[in-house]
Structure 1
Amino acid sequence: MEGEASVNIDYQKYNADKIWDGLKGYITNTLLSREEIIGQYSQLWQIEKAFRISKTDLRIRPVYHRLRNRIEAHICICFAAYTVYKELERLIIINQIRLSPEKAINEIKEIKQLSYTLPKSKETKTKILKPTNEQEWLLNLEI
């Protein structure tokens, strides 16, 4: 700034604005009651968490499609991935496993399995190679 500067406060506007301090307003086009609207708004954090999980943990990227069926397919895949993630979270909780879904997914990714065919019977078998304790818990989840 160059030269002299002055600051003035419009106390009339300040005092008029002050009466709204601490109040939260809701504007909606729904027919829900006041209590239902406030109750629904208090659950907004779950939607925000779902978007955060979708972007970070599931690495869902922006939609770069033009055709309606491709956009719908992308959204469907994203929803299915989030549903599987939430089911894993639910199973971890009910089975009292002390892992976050992110850590559980990383453990599952590291499970190694060997497939082999018996020479005489030509029967193909599979065997999980030495799972860790955490991997064992995840493989034996009660559904």
Structure 2
Amino acid sequence: MPDLYGYSALIHLGHVASPERFELAIRAVDKTRRFWPGEIQLVVAIEEGRMQQWLDMPANCIFHAPEILQNVIDDYRRSGSLLIPDQNESAGNATLHALASGVPLDALNFRARHKNEVRPRHGDAFLGVGRARDRSN
């Protein structure tokens, strides 16, 4: 089971199963980590045997099979901590571009996903967001 329960929220960023989208997601995570005082982790659902050559293991990124992530996502959804970008755009393009451009995470609008199921598919990306804490040590 992935160790994601230490994060206060899981944000569904959409599909990143292409080199360009994955690079954009990594830029978004790196930029967000500069400004967010809590922990940030990119989690990507990857089907076994479908790893691409361009998918290396960058810092602050982990890969899990979609079926393994489902229980974690269901738990976050039930708790009201599974957040979806509040745009009329399911792939999360606007959110990824905003984060990669340095827009602070808390400046974006997200809504909790309570009732609708989110089924991770190959290439789906989620951002684990931890509570703010002192990182001076």
State TM-score, norm by structure 1: 0.22
State TM-score, norm by structure 2: 0.23
* Larger strand proportion of the pair: 2
Greater RCO structure (CA 8 Å; 6+ sep): 2
* Larger helix proportion of the pair: 1
